[in-house]
């Protein structure tokens, strides 16, 4: 009887392994390239923080008589895991007063990541940042670059009274 119980125990213990299973997990990470204008910089390489930042579509520039410009905090904030480049161009500021037909424009220089675009002299968009394949293969890159603008003083002092708006354009291109 003891032999029978011992044999049954060996069989039960041996069969327990027969019922084991494996589960293989797989996934595919899609390529993503996003950017937005934000009032705060993103935490470096933190995609969750990037997602939580609010996009802005307007930057206020106040020019004071002492010649200095005051720009609200604005950042070009980017997140990507694929190679790309982002370029910048701008249009001179024009009056918002529709009754002024020949009002002079206000030119300015916009800077992001040491790339400068001057509205009355730069003809082609300038590259602000390029992410190459080597950088992108290391995973999601999240980075912010401060945007600043400097008004042309002569244009500012020659301008008609009233509000002015200009457009800065950022384009992202897959590499």
Structure tokens at 75: 């950042």
Reference 126, options 171, 84, 81; nearest CA is 171
- Spatial distance between the Cα atoms of 165 and 61, rounded to a whole number of angstroms: 10
- Strands (DSSP E) contained in 68-125 are 69-71, 75-80, 84-95, 108-112, 115-118
Q: Phi/psi at 105 (nearest 5 deg)?
A: -90, 165
E strand or H helix at 78, and its extent?
strand 75-80
Structure tokens at 109: 């220089």
State the 10-residue block means of pLDDT for the chain, 175 residues long: 63 60 91 91 94 87 61 86 94 92 90 95 93 89 91 89 90 87
CB-based contact 143:78 (threshold 8 Å): yes
pLDDT at site 61:
65
- Spatial distance between the Cα atoms of 60 and 70, rounded to a whole number of angstroms: 8
Structure tokens at 49: 């923080």
CATH class for domain 30-174? Answer: mainly beta
CB-based contact 34:84 (threshold 8 Å): no
pLDDT at site 57:
82
Domain ranges of the chain: 30-174
This prediction has a pTM of 0.77
């Amino acid at each position: 009887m003891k032999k029978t119980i011992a044999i049954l125990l060996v069989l039960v213990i041996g069969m327990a392994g027969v019922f084991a299973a494996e589960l293989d997990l797989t996934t595919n990470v899609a390529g993503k390239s996003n950017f937005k204008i934000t009032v705060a910089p993103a935490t470096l390489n933190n995609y969750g923080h990037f997602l939580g930042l609010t996009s802005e579509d307007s930057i206020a520039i106040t020019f004071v008589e002492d010649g200095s410009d005051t720009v609200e905090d604005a950042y070009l904030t980017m997140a990507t895991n694929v190679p790309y480049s982002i370029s910048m161009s701008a249009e001179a500021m024009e009056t918002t007063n529709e009754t002024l037909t020949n009002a002079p424009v206000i030119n300015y220089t916009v800077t992001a990541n040491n790339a400068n675009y001057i509205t009355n002299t730069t003809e082609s968009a300038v590259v602000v940042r390029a992410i190459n394949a080597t950088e992108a293969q290391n995973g999601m890159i999240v980075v912010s670059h401060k945007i600043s603008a400097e008004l042309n003083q002569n244009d500012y002092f020659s301008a008609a009274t009233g509000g002015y708006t200009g457009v800065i354009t950022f384009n992202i291109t897959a590499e």
